[in-house]
Amino acid sequence: METYLSLVVKRSYPDLIIYAGEVTLGEKVRNKKDSKKRKLEKTRITQAACALLNSGGGVIVIQMANQSEQPERMGQDLETSLRNLIPSLDLQAFFETKQQEDKFYIFVKSWSSSPEDDSTKPRICSLGTSLYCRSLTSKVAMDSRDAFYFLKKKKAYIKCSPTDDRAPPAKIPRTMSQKSLESNPAFEIFQSKKLEYGQRLLFSESTSIEFKQFDTENAQKYMKDIIPEYISAFANTQGGYLFIGVDDKSIILGCPKDNVDPDSLKIVANEAISKLPVFHFCSSKDKNKVSYETRVIDVFQEGNLYSYLCVIKVEPFCCAVFSEAPISWMVDKEKGVYTLNTEEWVRMMVDVGPEAASNDLSRDFECQLSLSDSPPHCRPVYSKKGLEHKVDLQQHLFQVSPDCLKYTPESLWSELCSQHERLEDLVNQQIRSFSCGLLILSRSWAVDLNLEEKQEVICDALLIAQNSPPILYTILGEQDEQGQDYCTRTAFTLKQKLVNTGGYTGRVCVMTKVLCLSSQNNIETSGSSVSPIDYPSSYNLANIQEMQDLLQALVIVLLNFRSFLSDQLGCEILNLLTAQQYEILSKSLRKTRELFVHGLPGSGKTIIAMKIMEKIRNTFHCETDRILYICENQPLRDFIQ
Amino acid sequence: METYLSLVVKRSYPDLIIYAGEVTLGEKVRNKKDSKKRKLEKTRITQAACALLNSGGGVIVIQMANQSEQPERMGQDLETSLRNLIPSLDLQAFFETKQQEDKFYIFVKSWSSSPEDDSTKPRICSLGTSLYCRSLTSKVAMDSRDAFYFLKKKKAYIKCSPTDDRAPPAKIPRTMSQKSLESNPAFEIFQSKKLEYGQRLLFSESTSIEFKQFDTENAQKYMKDIIPEYISAFANTQGGYLFIGVDDKSIILGCPKDNVDPDSLKIVANEAISKLPVFHFCSSKDKNKVSYETRVIDVFQEGNLYSYLCVIKVEPFCCAVFSEAPISWMVDKEKGVYTLNTEEWVRMMVDVGPEAASNDLSRDFECQLSLSDSPPHCRPVYSKKGLEHKVDLQQHLFQVSPDCLKYTPESLWSELCSQHERLEDLVNQQIRSFSCGLLILSRSWAVDLNLEEKQEVICDALLIAQNSPPILYTILGEQDEQGQDYCTRTAFTLKQKLVNTGGYTGRVCVMTKVLCLSSQNNIETSGSSVSPIDYPSSYNLANIQEMQDLLQALVIVLLNFRSFLSDQLGCEILNLLTAQQYEILSKSLRKTRELFVHGLPGSGKTIIAMKIMEKIRNTFHCETDRILYICENQPLRDFIQ
Ligand SMILES: [Zn+2]
Ligand SMILES: [Zn+2]
C-alpha cells in the first residue's frame, strides 16, 4: 500500500515518533478539502495512531498544511476515525494533542484496558476485524469488542470438546447447532436441476438464507465482491445458503445466460472462498478451510434456458473465518509501520495468558503482571509464592520517600565520586531542582537493558522524580559525538521495556541528557540535529504513587527472566529474580573478574549464570564464539547455543 | 406518550403476549410507506420487544397490514431497532419470528448475558441510556455497554473513597482529576465583564470546552434543546465550559441583544439544568444536583453593546447525570407496558448482587444463582455451605432418567388414584405419547406458587418431558368455566417464576390443559375464547440437559425463601430450603391438621413455620386477620404483621 511510504519513523528520539507528513487540520478547512485527499490524510493518521497504540505509545508529528496562528481542533472526521480504533469512549486517556508553530502533535499512550474492565476488552486496537456474522436476516461486521467475544467463545468451545477437532464443537448453544442445513427449506432448491424464471420461493431471507440479485453489468466481479463478507458471516454463525439471482421478494431471476458462463461462476466462487483467511483454535491437522458447495442451476423461461441461479451452501465453521486479513498495525523503529497478518492479529487479540488455564500456576506462583490489563506486547509475569512480590522488590531496591531525593546504589555513587573528581558537582547541579525521587546509577544502563555498552561512558543515571518525566543522564569523560545517540538508544529501549515488559500503563517518555566531565559549561548536546518535542505535563510523574508504579515496572524490566515453565505451558511467561540474585548480578563485572555463586539446588544459580553471561557479552563486546563457557548444566548449555 | 395505548397486554394466555396492532411488514413495502407512520410502527415494536426482554420474555403479535401469502422479512428498519436494544449481535438467540395467516409473531426470550461474558453486559436492555460523555472534543452518547462500564466504574470509585461523599472520589484517573476548571484557559473569559464582537479566543474546543453558535431564530429554545446533553457530557467526564455564542473558529459572536434578554437566558439555563435526572451511588445526604454556574457576558461592537455570550461552567459530578430519563420498558400483566424511571433503571443496570461485596458470604454460602448471567428480575440465590446444592436438590426431588416417564411424588399419585377412580386412565391417556420426563403432581400448583387455590381442582400435574414444552394439566371433577382461567393463571405464574426467580435462560412457555373426570371425551377447553399461539419447536425441551436446567430453576422457585442476610447486606438475596424442609412443607395440609416441627435451634423451624402459614392462607382463603397465630418468635411475628 502506497500510503505507508508517507509514514516515517524517526530514529533520533528516545520515543516512537511517526512523522505523518502534511495534513490539513481544522473542522471547516477539512470539510472544504477534496474528499479523496482528506481520506488519504485520515488513513495516515489512523495507521500511525493504531500502530502506536499497539506498540507502546509515541508521538505522531503532523506538518500543518494550513498554517494558522490559532489553535485548531483536528477535525471531526479524524477524531471519529481515532474513536473507531479504541473500544472505549475515553479517548482523552489515550490521545493528547498540542499545536506548536506549524506542527501538530498527537501524543499517543499505549493501549491497555483498565483493571476495572475485568479483561473484557481486546488486547489490541484495530480499524477493522474483517469478521462478520449473521444477525437475524442481516450480515453484520463485528467491531473489535464483538470480535473479542466471538474469538474468546470459540476458543472456550474448542477447549470443551477436544476429542473431535473437525466437527463443530459440542457446547454450541442449541439455536446454533440444532437446525441442520439439510432440514432447511432452501436445501430442496439447492438440489434442484432446473428452476422456473419468476418462480417465487416458499421461504424468505433468514439467519441462514440470503438473497442477492446479480449486478448484470459484471456478474463475476459482483460475485467476487460480495462473497467474502457473506461467507464469513454464514461460516461464523450457523452456516446457510447464499442465493445469487433471487430478489428480496423471493423471486428467482438468475443471471441472464448471455452475460455469463456457468463454469466461470463456479470458478470465481471457489477462488474467492479459498482466499478467505481462517484461524483455528482447534488442532485441525490439515488446517481445513471453509466447507462449502457451489451449485449453478439452470433457470428456464417458457421452456428455454434463460439464466443461471448460483447458490452457495456454507457449513458452520469450527473456528473463525475472515473476509480478508484484519486491519491493524504495529510499529518498530527498524521495520517502520507494518500490518499484522491474521494469525498474529488473533493471537494478540485473545492472548489471555496462562491464568485461566493452569491451576498449578496459581497454586505455586503469584501473578505479578497479568495480561488482561497491561499493554499489548506484555508477557505475563509470575513469581514463586513466598518470594518477594514486585512491590516488595521495589521497596527493597528502589524505595521512594516523600521530600527526599536519594542516589542509589549508594556504594556505586561513592565509588564513582572517588574515581571522578568533578562528578559529584556536575550531577548535583543537574539534580538540585528536584526534591523527591530517586537517582538510579549504573556503570551502564545500556548493559542493564541488554544493549551494548559504550566504553567512553563513565556512568548512566536514571532520574525518577516528582513533577518531572524520567530523565536518563549519560555521563562522559570527554565530549563525544556518539554520546547523544547512545543515550537516546538506551532511553528508548528503557521506555519501550517499561511499557512492553514492565506493563506500565501511564504516559511515559524517558528524556535524555548527555553530561560531560571535561567541559566547563554543560550545554545539552541533544538539540544538535533534532528539534526536541515538548511533551505535555501529563508525562510528568505527578505523585509518589505514579513513581512507585513506574519503579515496579522497572523492577520487572530489570529482574525478569524467561520462566522454565514457558515451554511446559506453551506460552512465554516471565519470572522475577529475587533481590539477592539481582544484587549479585548488578555487581561490577570489571571489578569482580572472578565470581562464585553458591547456593542450594534450585536456588537459581543457573539463572544467575545465564544472566551474567548475557551481561558479559554486552559489556565486553564479545562475539558469541569468542567466549569459552565451561558448564555441566543442560539448560545453561542450551541457552548459550 | 400516546404510542403506549396501542400496545395491549393480553391476559388470557399463560405467557406475556403483547398485541402491537397493525404493522406493515416486508422490506420494499415498508420503504414505500410514509416515514412518520413507519416510525410509529417501529416505536411500538421496539417498546414491546424491550419490555419483553426485560420482563421474562413473551410474544409480540402483529396484525399484518399487508396480507401476503408469502413469508416476509420484517424489514431492515425494524431489525435494526431490535439490534439497538441488545448489546449482542446474536439476535437470533433472543428473537424468533413466525408468520401465520394474517398474523406475524415475534417470540422474545428473556434477556440474559451468557455465562462466558463474565458479567460484562448490562442486566437490562434499553433503547437509549440518556448518558453522555466527552470524547476528545465531542459529546458522545453512551450505548448501554458504555453506560454499564461507566456506572460500574463510578460505583467502584465511590466504594474506594467512603470518607468524603461530596467531593469527586479519590481514585479517579489522573487525566480526569488533574486539570481543575480554574486553570483552564476558558476560565479567564468566563470571568470577564465584557468582550469584543469578532474577538478570537486563544483556545479551541477540547474535552472541556465546547463552542456553540446561537440559533438566532429562537435563542431560548435552542439553549433548552442543547443544554441537557452537553451538561450531562461535561458533568460525567471532567467538567468544562459550554460557550453559547462562539463559532467553531473560536470567534465571539454572541446572541444579538434585540433577540433576547440576558436574564431570561440565565433562567432558561437554570431550568434546563435543574431538570436533569441524576443518580447517586454515594451517600450524598442532600442528593445534590449538578454544580454549575451560568454567566451572560456583554459583547460590544465599536463601543456599543451588541450581543450576549452565554457561558456555563460545569463541575465534574460525583456520580451520573442524565440528559433525560433513560429509555427502557418493562411489562406486567396488570400494569401493561411501562417505562422505568432513572432510579429503577440504574439499579437494574448495575445490580450485581452481593458476590463481590461480601467475603463472608462466599465463605459460608454457595452461590446457586448469580445475577451476572441470569434474567433481569432475578435475585441472587445462595445456600449454606454443606447443605444440598440446587443440583443435588433437583436430583433428589425431580430426577429425570433417560427413556423413562415418572410420576412424582409417588405417594400423592397413589393417594389421588385411590380417591378418584377415573383419574389414572385420564392422565395416562394424556401422557402416553411422552417417553422421557417427569409428571409432577400437586394438590394445587397454585398454592405451591403462592396463588390462591381453587376448591374444585382435584390436582394439578406439571409435565416436564423431552420434545415437548412444559405442560400444566389441571384436573377437575366437573366441567367448570373458571377452570381454564385458573390453569392459565397458574401456568403463567410458573413460567414467570421459572425465568425471573429460577433464572432459567432457555426459551420457555408453560402450556395449559384442563381435564375433567366427569366428561367422557375430554375436549380441551382452552380454545374457547383464545386462538392459541403456535410456539416454534425451540420452545420444546430438546434433551435431558435442558430438562435438568428447567428443573433446577423449578427447585429455586419452590424452595426459595428470603434470606435473613438480606437486610444485613442491603439487597434482597434468597436461600434455599433443604429437601427435608421442603418435604415437610409439601405435606397435605388438609390431611395433616396438626403438624409439629421439631428441630435443633437454627435448623430452620421458623422458616418452615412461615412458609406453612403462607400456604394456609392460600389454601383456605383466609383473610389475614382471621388466623390466630401463637408464637414466641420475633422474626415470625414480624413477618406476619
Ligand atoms: Zn478449527
Ligand atoms: Zn454522588
Judge if A73 and A147 occupy the same domain: no
Reported as a pLDDT band with limits 50, 70 and 90, residue B592 is: low
Q: Which of A41, A72, A96, A205 is catalytic?
A: A205
**Does A275 contact B at CB distance below 8 Å?**
no
Q: What is residue B527's predicted lDDT score, i.e. its pLDDT?
A: 44
Q: What is residue A59's predicted lDDT score, i.e. its pLDDT?
A: 97
Residue in chain B lying closest to A153 (CA): B116
Distance (Å, rounded) from C-alpha B246 to C-alpha B435? 76
Is a pLDDT exceeding 90 seen at residue B437?
yes
For B531, phi then psi, to 5°, come to -80, 125
Judge if B462 and B517 occupy the same domain: yes
**Does B136 contact A at CB distance below 8 Å?**
yes
Render pLDDT for A281-318 as a digit per residue (tens, 0 to 9). 887 755 788 999 999 999 999 999 999 999 999 999 99
Q: What is residue A258's predicted lDDT score, i.e. its pLDDT?
A: 86
* Interacting residues of A515 by C-beta distance below 8 A, sequence separation 6+: A426, A427, A430, A473, A474, A475, A476, A522
Select from B273, B303, B321 the last residue of a domain: B321
Q: Are strands A240-244 and A209-212 parallel, antiparallel or unpaired?
A: parallel
> What total number of domains does chain B contain?
4
- Give the number of the ligand closest to the Cα of residue A162: 1
* Interacting residues of A616 by C-beta distance below 8 A, sequence separation 6+: A589, A622, A627
Q: Provide the ipTM.
A: 0.85
Asked if B553 and B503 touch (Cβ cutoff 8 Å), the reply is yes
Render pLDDT for A323-368 as a digit per residue (tens, 0 to 9). 999 999 999 999 999 999 999 999 888 876 665 455 566 677 777 7
Q: What is residue B370's predicted lDDT score, i.e. its pLDDT?
A: 78
Q: How far, in Å, is the centroid of ligand 2 from the Cα of B144?
A: 20
**Cβ separation A136–B82 shorter than 8 A:** yes
* A379 assigned to some structural domain: no
**Which is nearest to B469 in space by CA: B556, B544, B398, B538?**
B538
Is a pLDDT exceeding 90 seen at residue B360?
no
**Cβ separation A89–B116 shorter than 8 A:** no
Judge if B202 and B170 occupy the same domain: yes
* A171 assigned to some structural domain: yes
Distance (Å, rounded) from C-alpha A214 to C-alpha A253? 9
Range of the domain at A632: 587-641
CA distances from A577 to A399, A441, A556, A559 (A): 18, 20, 9, 5
Reported as a pLDDT band with limits 50, 70 and 90, residue A606 is: low
Judge if A454 and A514 occupy the same domain: yes
* Interacting residues of A106 by C-beta distance below 8 A, sequence separation 6+: A45, A49, A59, A60, A62, A74, A95, A96, A97
- The residue-averaged pLDDT of A139-164 equals 81
**Cβ separation A178–B538 shorter than 8 A:** yes
Render pLDDT for A624-634 as a digit per residue (tens, 0 to 9). 555 544 445 55
- What size, in residues, is chain B? 641
**Cβ separation B178–A538 shorter than 8 A:** yes
- The residue-averaged pLDDT of A269-286 equals 87
* Strand positions, DSSP E, A229-373: 240-244, 255-256, 278-279, 292-301, 304-314, 320-321, 329-332, 336-339, 365-369
Q: What is residue B176's predicted lDDT score, i.e. its pLDDT?
A: 43
Q: Which residue has the higher pLDDT, A377 or A584?
A: A377
Is a pLDDT exceeding 90 seen at residue B635?
no
Reported as a pLDDT band with limits 50, 70 and 90, residue A165 is: very low
* B353 assigned to some structural domain: no
**Which is nearest to A604 in space by CA: A588, A583, A629, A630?**
A583
Work out the burial of residue A418: count CB atoms within 10 Å of its CB; fewer than 13 is exposed, 13-18 middle, 19 or more buried.
exposed
Q: What angle do CA A588, A590, A591 make, to 5 degrees?
A: 70
Judge if B465 and B521 occupy the same domain: yes
Q: What is residue B358's predicted lDDT score, i.e. its pLDDT?
A: 56
Is a pLDDT exceeding 70 seen at residue A164?
no
When CB atoms are compared, the residue of B76, B175, B249 closest to A93 is B175
When CB atoms are compared, the residue of A76, A92, A149 closest to B117 is A149
Judge if B309 and B221 occupy the same domain: yes
**Which is nearest to A530 in space by CA: A9, A10, A12, A58?**
A12
Rounded to the nearest 10 degrees, how much is the dihedral formed by the CA atoms of A485, A46, B150, B226? Answer: 120
- The residue-averaged pLDDT of B153-177 equals 55
Judge if A147 and A260 occupy the same domain: yes
Question: What are the cell numbers at A145?
Answer: 469488542
Q: Which residue has the higher pLDDT, B575 or B3?
A: B575
Sign of the alpha-carbon torsion through A560, A563, A569, A572: positive
- The residue-averaged pLDDT of B108-116 equals 85
Question: What are the cell numbers at B527?
Answer: 380454545
Q: What is residue A177's predicted lDDT score, i.e. its pLDDT?
A: 46
- The residue-averaged pLDDT of A67-81 equals 84
Q: What is residue A613's predicted lDDT score, i.e. its pLDDT?
A: 67
Reported as a pLDDT band with limits 50, 70 and 90, residue B260 is: confident
* B367 assigned to some structural domain: no
What's the mean pLDDT when you consider all of chain B?
Answer: 84
Render pLDDT for B195-233 as a digit per residue (tens, 0 to 9). 999 999 999 999 999 999 987 678 888 999 999 999 999
Please, which residues bridge with residue A471 across strands? A463, A511
CATH number at residue A296: 3.30.950
* Interacting residues of A262 by C-beta distance below 8 A, sequence separation 6+: A296, A298, A308
Distance (Å, rounded) from C-alpha B460 to C-alpha B451? 13
Q: What is residue B588's predicted lDDT score, i.e. its pLDDT?
A: 54
Question: What are the cell numbers at A154?
Answer: 470459540
**Does B77 contact A at CB distance below 8 Å?**
no
- Continuous segment of H or E residues that includes residue A206: none
Reported as a pLDDT band with limits 50, 70 and 90, residue A141 is: very high
- The three-class DSSP label of residue A217 is coil
Residue listed under C-alpha cell 386412565: B425
Which residue type is seen at A183? S
Judge if A149 and A238 occupy the same domain: yes
**Cβ separation B79–A137 shorter than 8 A:** yes
* B354 assigned to some structural domain: no
Q: What is residue B173's predicted lDDT score, i.e. its pLDDT?
A: 45
Q: Which of A426-440, B169-183, B344-358, B364-378 has the lowest mean pLDDT?
A: B169-183
Distance (Å, rounded) from C-alpha A308 to C-alpha A299? 5
* A338 assigned to some structural domain: no
Please, which residues bridge with residue A402 across strands? none
For A262, phi then psi, to 5°, come to -60, -35
CATH number at residue B66: 3.30.110
Kindly state the percentage of chain A with pLDDT values over 70: 81
Residue listed under C-alpha cell 389414572: B424
Asked if B437 and B547 touch (Cβ cutoff 8 Å), the reply is yes
Distance (Å, rounded) from C-alpha A255 to C-alpha A311? 12
Is a pLDDT exceeding 50 seen at residue A176?
no
**Cβ separation A133–B207 shorter than 8 A:** no
Select from B321, B337, B363 the last residue of a domain: B321
| Neighboring chain A residues of B122 at a CB cutoff of 8 Å | none
CB atoms closer than 10 angstroms to residue B179: 18
**Cβ separation A204–B71 shorter than 8 A:** yes
Q: What is residue A372's predicted lDDT score, i.e. its pLDDT?
A: 74
**Which is nearest to B85 in space by CA: B125, B45, B124, B41?**
B125
Asked if B540 and B547 touch (Cβ cutoff 8 Å), the reply is no
Kindly state the percentage of chain B with pLDDT values over 70: 81
- HEC letters along A541-607: ECCHHHHHHHHHHHHHHHHEEECCHHHHHCCCCEEECCHHHHHHHCCCCCCCCCCCCCCCCCCCHHH
**Does A117 contact B at CB distance below 8 Å?**
yes
* B637 assigned to some structural domain: yes
Q: How far, in Å, is the centroid of ligand 2 from the Cα of B55?
A: 29
- The residue-averaged pLDDT of A17-39 equals 91
| Neighboring chain B residues of A250 at a CB cutoff of 8 Å | 70-71
CA distances from A380 to A355, A373, B247 (A): 9, 11, 50
Reported as a pLDDT band with limits 50, 70 and 90, residue A88 is: confident
- The residue-averaged pLDDT of A189-200 equals 94
Is a pLDDT exceeding 70 seen at residue A619?
no
Q: What is residue A170's predicted lDDT score, i.e. its pLDDT?
A: 41
* B571 assigned to some structural domain: no
Reported as a pLDDT band with limits 50, 70 and 90, residue A526 is: very low
Rg (CA), chain A: 30
- The residue-averaged pLDDT of A256-267 equals 89
Is a pLDDT exceeding 70 seen at residue B354?
no
Judge if A419 and A501 occupy the same domain: yes
Q: Which of B41, B72, B210, B229 is catalytic?
A: B210
Judge if A136 and A273 occupy the same domain: yes
Judge if A438 and A486 occupy the same domain: yes
- The residue-averaged pLDDT of A135-152 equals 92
Judge if A253 and A398 occupy the same domain: no
For chain A, what is the total number of helices (H) and then of strands (E)?
20, 26
Q: Is residue B594 annotated as a catalytic residue, yes or no?
A: no
Q: How far, in Å, is the centroid of ligand 2 from the Cα of B236?
A: 11
- The residue-averaged pLDDT of A554-581 equals 80
- The residue-averaged pLDDT of A610-630 equals 61
Give one DSSP letter per residue of B153-206, joined into a string: HHHHHHHH--S-SSSPPTT--HHHHSS-GGGSTHHHHHH-SEEETTPBPS---B
Q: What is residue A175's predicted lDDT score, i.e. its pLDDT?
A: 42
Q: Which of A153-162, A450-459, B88-97, B583-592 has the lowest mean pLDDT?
A: B583-592
Is a pLDDT exceeding 90 seen at residue B372?
no
Q: What is residue B634's predicted lDDT score, i.e. its pLDDT?
A: 55
When CB atoms are compared, the residue of B73, B142, B250 closest to A204 is B73
Q: What is residue B388's predicted lDDT score, i.e. its pLDDT?
A: 79
* Interacting residues of A234 by C-beta distance below 8 A, sequence separation 6+: A134, A208, A210, A240, A241, A242, A314, A316
When CB atoms are compared, the residue of B92, B140, B178 closest to A89 is B140
Reported as a pLDDT band with limits 50, 70 and 90, residue A423 is: very high
Kindly state the percentage of chain B with pLDDT values over 90: 56
- HEC letters along B52-69: HHHHCCEEEEEEECCCCC
Distance (Å, rounded) from C-alpha B588 to C-alpha B379? 29
Reported as a pLDDT band with limits 50, 70 and 90, residue B305 is: very high
Q: What angle do CA B249, B253, B256 make, to 5 degrees?
A: 160
Q: What is residue A560's predicted lDDT score, i.e. its pLDDT?
A: 86
Q: Is residue B481 annotated as a catalytic residue, yes or no?
A: no
Question: What are the cell numbers at A51?
Answer: 500502530
Q: Which residue has the higher pLDDT, B542 or A568?
A: B542
Render pLDDT for B443-500 as a digit per residue (tens, 0 to 9). 999 988 989 889 899 999 999 999 999 999 999 998 888 999 999 999 999 999 999 9
Question: What are the cell numbers at A125?
Answer: 486496537
**Does B93 contact A at CB distance below 8 Å?**
yes
| HSE-CB of A461 using CA atoms within 13 angstroms | 28
| Neighboring chain A residues of B81 at a CB cutoff of 8 Å | none
Q: What is residue B279's predicted lDDT score, i.e. its pLDDT?
A: 93
Is a pLDDT exceeding 60 seen at residue B528?
no
